[in-house]
Amino acid sequence: MQQFISDQNLLQVQDKVLLGISGGVDSIVLLHLLLAGGYQIGLAHVNYGLRGEESDEDQSFCEALAREFNLPIFVRKVELTNSSRSIQMAAREARYQFFYELCAQEHFSKIILAHHLDDQAETLLMELLRGREEEIFRGIPVQHLAVIRPLAFATKSEIKSYAEQHSIKFREDSSNQEEYYLRNEIRLNILPRLTKIHPHPEKQLVDRKEVYNRQYILLSNLLEPIKKICWKEEKGNITILTHYPEVSALNYATALSIWLEKSGEPVHLRKEIIALISSQKGKQVTGKTKLWMRENDSIIGVPLIRPILSEGYYIPIQDRITGHEIIDSWEISWDHPEIFEDKDISSVWIDEDKIIGNFIFRYWKPGDNMKPLGLAGRKKISDILTDTKVSTSQRKNQFVLADQEGICYLQNYRISSRVRITRKTKNIVRIRFKFLK
């Protein structure tokens, strides 16, 4: 590790460093390596309380280590249950805020985290599956601002072997074995299977990522002069030429994909927008923030004005981001928890991967039907409202969530069995509604 630190110019011996410590094997091995390097170390531990007594035992273990090595330790207990964002995102923000506060208060010059090569490979695969090219190529940086990751060169197996060879004690996080986390699914099932193809898939993946990252940056820079000609932005509107004579159609489509990604369009919509190149005049695609329209020799993107509620509002829940909309008299928010909380009956919980096409919020209309969870067969929305004794005056204001395949949810009453959460669910979306007037 000392050679890696030197090669990457991560630390100087005189640096006063803050090590984020969980009690797991990665951060504990890193602690021992830093102690061997003679660095001036402080420890920081965040107790989220998500695993009850087990979380408190992690904290006690870290505090005991601090006493053993006569190191200062800073502990913060964080309550995450009231967060409107995913637990993972809220935990990350709370953790980094705590670390940076400590740097300012205690004059630490560096924040050290124990991410390793397997973390890089897992992140790469996660972003690849989600279609976020820039995130794939960026990965987890070895150094960013005050944060450094001196174990970025090491695999998980190498870290565990070091712990065994030196009889280093550490804590096991039971949630790391729960497969409904996407990262855990990759860690526990996908990467081990890849070892049958390549003995060190994590190293191969990260090596390829570095190569593709350099190519991506080079391509983006080379495309910049073309973008100045083909992509015009003015007062929120975007005009894109449908072709550029000096670039082949395939390469131009690649350029458009890169530019559209930078403008915030998710992968499933970028394909539809690019398809406008060969479409007839007047063809439209509703993007994340813009309405894209095919004109004579260009594609025009104008700020998205939501259509009237009876026609439906597009809700971009499939972009793996936390979102918020005000629609008519409703405030709608959504996030992507890793865990299904079945006691939270105030929210709508949906298997994101089962949503087909655009996700729409609208009022119900005659002819709407669905396959309600817990009931056999399909049923008309009008019959469900009759069965649940919704008054005639209230019926017209009942909204539904729908996708390309039909109704996913009826306000306050039923979710479709087609999009329910199951043991096989990998990606969850939680949607909340608040009536404003």
Which of the four pLDDT bands, split at 50, 70 and 90, describes residue 346? low
Q: Is the pLDDT of residue 178 over 60?
A: no
Token pair of 181 as six digits: 């986390």
Which of the four pLDDT bands, split at 50, 70 and 90, describes residue 179? very low
Decide: helix, strand or coil at residue 17: strand
Distance between CA atoms of 206 and 212, rounded to whole angstroms?
10
pLDDT at residue number 376? 78
pLDDT at residue number 344? 59
Distance between CA atoms of 157 and 110, rounded to whole angstroms?
26
* 321 or 88: which leads in pLDDT: 88
Distance between CA atoms of 408 and 429, rounded to whole angstroms?
12
Q: Is the pLDDT of residue 288 over 80?
A: no
pLDDT at residue number 204? 81
pLDDT at residue number 305? 53
Q: Is the pLDDT of residue 108 over 50?
A: yes
Token pair of 345 as six digits: 């009956």
Query: Residues 292-321: what's their mean pLDDT?
Result: 72
Token pair of 101 as six digits: 């506060």
Query: Residues 149-164: what's their mean pLDDT?
Result: 92
Q: Is the pLDDT of residue 74 over 70?
A: yes
Of 20, 149, 25, nearest in space to 96 by CA: 20
Which of the four pLDDT bands, split at 50, 70 and 90, describes residue 343? low
Token pair of 86 as six digits: 């995913």
pLDDT at residue number 138? 65
- Helix ranges (H only) for 263-329 are 267-274
Q: Is the pLDDT of residue 132 over 80?
A: no
Pairing of β 298-303 and β 143-144: unpaired
Which of the four pLDDT bands, split at 50, 70 and 90, describes residue 83? very low
Max mean pLDDT among 8-17, 82-91, 284-293 falls in 8-17
pLDDT at residue number 30? 95
Query: Residues 54-79: what's their mean pLDDT?
Result: 93
